[in-house]
Amino acid sequence: MLVKNTMHTLVFAAVLGVVCSVLLVTASLFTDPYRRANQQADQVRNYLAALEVPLPEAAGSAELIDVFNRTIRRVEKGGLECFEYRPTADGGPQAVAVAFSGPGVWGPIEGVMALEPDMLTIRGVRFFRQEETPGLGGEIASAAFLNRFKGKQIVGQDGTPGFRVRKSGGGADEPNAVDGITGATMTSDRVQDMLDTLAKRIRKE
């Protein structure tokens, strides 16, 4: 009797496991191409936004990827992967984007910084992956914070490369510093490290 019960349990568990797996695999296979396109479009959207590429209102995933493929060229400069925005085939680059990443407070932070052709002035910054505390560190993805970067430089007044995210005591009016986020010291520090390293790498190139 006991053996029979155990057999019943085992068979039931095995059949249920197989049925559930088949369902999940089917769902996964069916949605996979759509999920991939969404993820790619998400990244592309951040690059285009940082580079300030004009986009049609409410552009779909396919449209974004199309714009990206037409106007953005990938180039290597001294081991640095750059994305140049060339709206016309023969003109020079109008902006250059470089990706950066590093540890955040709760998880990795990944983002992209776009520079004007002078390679000194910041055109835009976007974070496309972050898991910072919502409402505090998570504010790094807010427009209010991102807008502070526009027009800033990646070198200080004396020409040394670097970047600062200020916490207190002013200093945010320096050319290579922005005001940090109140209550998000850890996130601000880590973002500063990332951008500082990036600034130095870009200038070295």
Least separation, in Å, of the C-beta of 61 and other proteins?
A: 8
Q: Judge contact between 86 and 92, C-beta under 8 A.
A: yes
Give the span between the Cα atoms of 168 and 16, in whole angstroms.
59
Among 2, 3, 14, 17, binds other proteins (CB under 8 A): 17
CA angle centred on 189, ends 186 and 194, rounded to 5°: 125
SS3 category, 170: coil
Single out the segment in contact with other proteins by CB under 8 A; choices: 12-20, 49-57, 82-90, 183-191. Answer: 12-20
To 10 degrees, what angle do helices 61-71 and 2-50 make? 50
CA 104 from centre of chain = 13
Nearer to other proteins, 32 or 81 (CB): 32
Within 10 A of 10 (CB to CB), how many other CB atoms are there?
10
Least separation, in Å, of the C-beta of 9 and other proteins?
A: 4
Binding of other proteins by 12 (CB under 8 A) = yes
Binding of other proteins by 5 (CB under 8 A) = yes
Nearer to other proteins, 128 or 163 (CB): 128
Q: Which two tokens stand for residue 152?
A: 């800033």
Least separation, in Å, of the C-beta of 155 and other proteins?
A: 35
End-to-end Cα, the chain, rounded Å: 77
20-49 positions binding other proteins, by CB under 8 A:
20, 23-24, 27-28, 30-31, 34-35, 38, 41-42
Beta strands in the chain (DSSP E): 72-77, 80-85, 95-103, 108-115, 122-129, 164-166, 177-179
Nearer to other proteins, 130 or 176 (CB): 130
Among 103, 107, 108, 135, binds other proteins (CB under 8 A): 135
Nearer to other proteins, 84 or 110 (CB): 110
Q: By CB under 8 A, name the binding residues for other proteins.
A: 5, 8-9, 12-13, 16-17, 20, 23-24, 27-28, 30-31, 34-35, 38, 41-42, 61, 135
